[in-house]
Each structure stands twice: as structure tokens, then as C-alpha cells.
Structure 1
Amino acid sequence: MPGPVFLDGDGVTLRAATEEDVPFLRENHDDPRVRATRSVHEPADDEWARRRLGGTMGRDGDSLALLVCDDDPVGLVYLVREDPNAHTQRLGELAYWIAPDEWGNGYATAAADRLVAHAFDDLGLHRVTASAFADNVASRRVLESVGFQEEGVARKEAFVDGDWQDVVRYGLLVEEWR
């Protein structure tokens, strides 16, 4: 596995992407099965993938984008802290995708659990949010198994593959995590 491990979890390691990972990032980001679970409307190019090299999203060092790995990469997990109030309010937003050939192996749950632990224990965040399309039962199950609470539904918020999708909002507070 190239690149040093950033976080080690139960069943996964999280590490920064390297140049060697650009094809994996592009191929899976563009996979129609992955796109159907996310609000992605444009194909990834090398520039998009390279902004995720080094473990950030290329904007600043506060938002993490880490490869989810077993022996090889199986997905990407994010802790986004782009909101202007993210530091004052000690917030982050969790997001993730797993390569379709690896669905059902527990990688999303293990990665989400490990990154949430990092957010609360190491970064001192107070609240982590996440969202999933209402019909994405697997992703909703991941969030609920990590401890997230459903907080509401944004009706027909996302336009995906020609259809409007409801988006379910989730939140997790540090005291609920502990």
C-alpha cells in the first residue's frame, strides 16, 4: 500500500492519496453506480483527482479527503470543513464513497467510524453532519450504525440522473459519540 497510514481503524486504514491513486479516484468517481449515490454532475479529470492528493481537498488543510484502504484502495472518505463558521462552531461534514466492487464489505462503516473518532477525539469537533439520498438505504444504515441521528429531510433537493431526490440530513454530537 503506497503512502503512509494516516489513521488506522477496525478493518481499514485511511491514508492520503498519491499520484499512483489518480486512476482509481477518477474511475470510481465517474462510475455510474457511485454517481447515483452522490450529487455529482461532472466527470472527474486528473486535476480533480490531484486536488485530493496529500489528504486534503486542495482548498486548505482543514478538509480531509483520505483513501479508504484494505490492502488496496477501496474508497474515499471526507471530513469537510468549508463552512465559514466551521472553526467557531467546531463542525465538520462526513461524506464517503466506496468502489462498487467493494460494496457490502463494511468498509464505509469502518471508515466513517474511524474518521468520526478522529473528528471528535483529535480535532475537538463538537458536531459532525452527514446526508444521504432517502432511497440510499445502505448509506443511511452506515450513518445510523456509527451513531448519527436523523434530523430531517430536504424534499426533492438533489437532481440526479433526471430525477429529484429527497436528501436525509443526519447529525452526531460529541456527547452522543462518547
Structure 2
Amino acid sequence: MFETDRLVLRPFEEKDAPAVQTLTSNIELARTTLHIPYPYPAGYATHWIASCKDRLKKGNSYSFAIILKETTELVGCITLTVALNHKRGEIAYWIGKPYWHNGYATEATIRIIEFAFHQLQLNRVWACVMTKNKASIEVMKKSGLLYEGTFPQHVLKWEQYEDVSYYGILKDQYEKIS
């Protein structure tokens, strides 16, 4: 569990399933993410939370519920998927639409980057984003991730090819700016 000024990042619990189900059932959220299906299947949140717990036990993926300190509302998710053999981690996140444009994703991402470099001793952290997701690109930039390149028509989302940009930072780059 981690804290920031406004957030608590903690492992998901079964009780979070209704909030996850509600927040991820939004077409606008699903449209700009790589792995959230739409329509979000009924009961899928419970299955997904169980899979998060399994991956956490294996030590190769850390999924955290993003919780507002003041209200204890679940507003989103941030995950760090680790390739230990390469000492790198991929960050992915989503914020429910009612909570967009409040800086929560940036605040959570900054804390997870710190966790990756300080606690896990990773050498590299990276993230990818569909180029049409301008808000997420801003999160990556504000979090200190650096643009590394764009892969044209890299993923197929809803029968449409999407360009994907990659952002990342090395531990020595991070230490210079932190």
C-alpha cells in the first residue's frame, strides 16, 4: 500500500468489484484503453480482481486500486507489470470518467515509478498509449516519462488499427530529475 497527497494505492479487494464494474462499463474509457472490453461483461470485475491477486502472488504484476483519501472512493487502477529478467516494468492505468481531469493518474503514476526504481530496483519503466488518447499522453509526460517512438497501426481495437506511442525512463534518467 502506498499513499500520495490525495490518494491511497492498495491491492484490490473483492469488495471493489461493483465500483470496478461500474467505472469500466463506460464506452469512452474502453475506447482509449488497450485491454478494457466493451461492453464490460457482467461479473467480470470479480474475475479480474482474482487474477490481480494471483499475479501479485507471483510477483510479476502489481495492480493497485486508486482510492481517494478524503472519501475512500475507488477512482481507478494502476498496474506495474514486471519483467524481472530484464529489470523493467510496464505501467498501465485507467481512471473512471467521473474522475477525469483531476490529476489522479499523474499522481499515482509518479508514485508507482518511485516504487519501481526504489523498492523493486528496476532499471527501466515504460508505458504505451494509443495516440488518440491525448489525456494519457499528458499523464506520461507530467510523470517524467520520455517519448520513445510511435508504432503506426500497432493494435487493432474495435476493427480499427490504432497508432501506439511508447514512453519510458531509465533509472539513471529518473535519478537526475528526482
Q: Which runs of 5+ in 2 are unaligned?
A: none
Say which structure is richer in helix. 2
Question: What is the RMSD of the two structures over their aligned residues, measured on CA atoms?
Answer: 1.8
2:63 is aligned, of 65, 89, 104, to 65
Q: Which runs of 5+ in 1 are unaligned?
A: 1-5
Deviating 4+ runs (over 4 angstroms): none
The alignment covers a number of residue pairs equal to 168
What are the superposed Cα offsets for residues 24-69 of structure 1, whole Å, 9 maximum, x if unpaired? 1122223211101112346345355344359x45232320110001
Cα distance change, pair 11–53 in 1 and its aligned pair in 2 (3 A)? farther
Residue type at the aligned position of 2:157: V
Residue type at the aligned position of 1:171: G
Distance in 1 between residues matched to 2:49 and 2:137, nearest whole Å = 25
Q: Which moved more, 1:120-129 or 1:23-32?
A: 23-32
Contact 2:18-2:45 within 8 A present in 1 as well: no
**Residue 14 in 1 paired to residue 16 in 2?**
no
1:93 is aligned, of 76, 82, 90, to 90
Contact 1:28-1:99 within 8 A present in 2 as well: yes
SS at match of 1:168: strand
Identical pairs, percent: 28
Residue type at the aligned position of 1:11: R
Partner of 1:149: 146
Contact 1:29-1:44 within 8 A present in 2 as well: no
Q: Which moved more, 1:14-23 or 1:103-112?
A: 14-23
Cα distance change, pair 57–18 in 1 and its aligned pair in 2 (3 A)? closer
Residue type at the aligned position of 1:98: I
Contact 2:32-2:132 within 8 A present in 1 as well: no
Partner of 1:117: 114
Distance in 1 between residues matched to 2:53 and 2:129, nearest whole Å = 20
Contact 2:67-2:74 within 8 A present in 1 as well: yes
